[in-house]
Chains A and B, each alone.
Chain A
């Protein structure tokens, strides 16, 4: 469930930027991601052996960890102060969200058995948003 919220709320960053500020949505997305990770740990009873063997052997778990790790610098540099300090570098750094997006999609894709309908739906929505965004910015 949280996976769906994450995937849907990442593009919301662009979609409703005039409604709510993008930073809050980004932080909410991170908190939901953390909660999702916490549930995973809880589900494995915080058993170090289990969690390590997952991390070593499972691709979908690795994609999830990588996405979570890449999210951390974005959260740390989300204050006004750091944003101003980093200048153009800030924007370059925050393009990492696209990589996080791809990794989250992969994280989901890798556990699907046969029915790719919902996955395709998310993908279509995301692509549509990205295309619209590009048009708006270039015009």
Chain B
């Protein structure tokens, strides 16, 4: 086409500072990002190898997604809202020298650093399905420990009814936090019985190594029977509280994202359907399962509850 001939391009180079030009290219690249055309280039070698057991009780034997898929198709708005943004901006998350504070209604307040997180607990690999509220899914081999082993250390008081989680706040470095897309920092919460369910996991690794930044390094929650956004990334604080905690997406649009947000094909999102999902890497769609296929472990948590009202 005439408008994109060589002459025009050269001319544009003359008048545009290269820095802006490159930046614009990056913006265009992320705007046109497509999950099937991915070259993952930011898997830096800073991830440490972990030693762990393999869990057989809770893990699925479905085919896991590749490390490339898991690290290049992410929702992590702190690092940008495009699917590839978290990979492209991964280095903007300063995840070294991490401190995780555990406080609130507990006997033992704790502060764990990055080293404690991988050494204090017996790590195991669990292969879980992950179902995003946007109707796509993956199968991921997480490495971590049950949240309840952390809860046992902290010894919550009898009046602790909920667990609240808070993610990193770093407006200076995190590109997504420069705009008020969400009410930063990102927060999530679980009911105490959900938190001590053996499925609920604190992940510190993926595919044998510590977590890549775009997957929520160095420590994140995994709640496989709930939509992915409940599984908060890069946690700095876990508090035990007596009232239902604030959850960021619930706060953003209470009619669209409930406190529970259990995976449920019978309750649609007001603007799109939750009946089906696209497994990343697969052709076509597959049916979504109630509680993401984990009913056996969790449906006793919600007996006598109307899941249509408590979505």
Give a binary string over A1-24; 1 marks a CB under 8 Å from any B CB, 0 the rest: 100100000000000100110000
Quote the shortest CB–CB distance from A51 to chain B (angstroms): 11
Q: Does B273 contact A (CB under 8 A)?
A: yes
Q: Which residues 236-272 in B have Cβ within 8 Å of A in the complex?
A: 252, 268, 271-272
Quote the shortest CB–CB distance from B244 to chain A (angstroms): 22
In the complex, what residues of B have CB within 8 A of residue A117's CB? 81, 179, 181
Looking at the complex, which one of A4, A20, A54, A115 makes contact with B32 (CB distance below 8 Å)?
A4
In the complex, what residues of A have CB within 8 A of residue B276's CB? 50
User: How many residues belonging to A are interface residues under a CB distance threshold of 8 Å?
Assistant: 23
Quote the shortest CB–CB distance from A52 to chain B (angstroms): 12
**Known pairs A43-B278, A53-B273; A115 contacts B2 (CB<8 A):** no
The answer to whether B273 and A45 touch across the interface, beta carbons within 8 angstroms, is no
The answer to whether B77 and A115 touch across the interface, beta carbons within 8 angstroms, is yes
In the complex, what residues of A have CB within 8 A of residue B284's CB? 42-45
Q: Does A59 contact B (CB under 8 A)?
A: yes
Quote the shortest CB–CB distance from A13 to chain B (angstroms): 14
In the complex, what residues of A have CB within 8 A of residue B283's CB? 45
The answer to whether A57 and B273 touch across the interface, beta carbons within 8 angstroms, is yes
User: How many residues belonging to B are interface residues under a CB distance threshold of 8 Å?
Assistant: 23
**Known pairs A4-B32, A58-B273, A114-B252; A43 contacts B285 (CB<8 A):** yes
Q: Does B3 contact A (CB under 8 A)?
A: yes
Q: Does B157 contact A (CB under 8 A)?
A: no
Looking at the complex, which one of B2, B31, B268, B271 makes contact with A4 (CB distance below 8 Å)?
B31
Quote the shortest CB–CB distance from B247 to chain A (angstroms): 14
Looking at the complex, which one of A4, A44, A59, A114 makes contact with B181 (CB distance below 8 Å)?
A114
Looking at the complex, which one of B3, B134, B273, B278 makes contact with A113 (CB distance below 8 Å)?
B134
Chain B residue at minimum C-beta to C-beta distance from A110:
B271
Q: Does A111 contact B (CB under 8 A)?
A: yes
Q: Does B182 contact A (CB under 8 A)?
A: yes
Residues of A within 8 A of B (CB): 1, 4, 16, 19-20, 42-45, 50, 53-54, 57-60, 110-111, 113-115, 117-118
The 5 A-B residue pairs whose C-beta atoms are closest, nearest first, are A115-B81, A45-B284, A115-B181, A114-B181, A110-B271
Besides the known contacts A58-B271, A114-B182, 4 further A-B residue pairs in the complex with CB atoms under 8 A apart:
A42-B284, A59-B271, A111-B271, A117-B181
A-B residue pairs in contact (CB < 8 Å), sample of 19: A1-B34, A4-B31, A19-B1, A20-B1, A42-B284, A43-B285, A44-B285, A45-B284, A45-B285, A50-B276, A54-B273, A57-B273, A59-B271, A113-B134, A114-B81, A114-B181, A114-B182, A115-B181, A118-B31
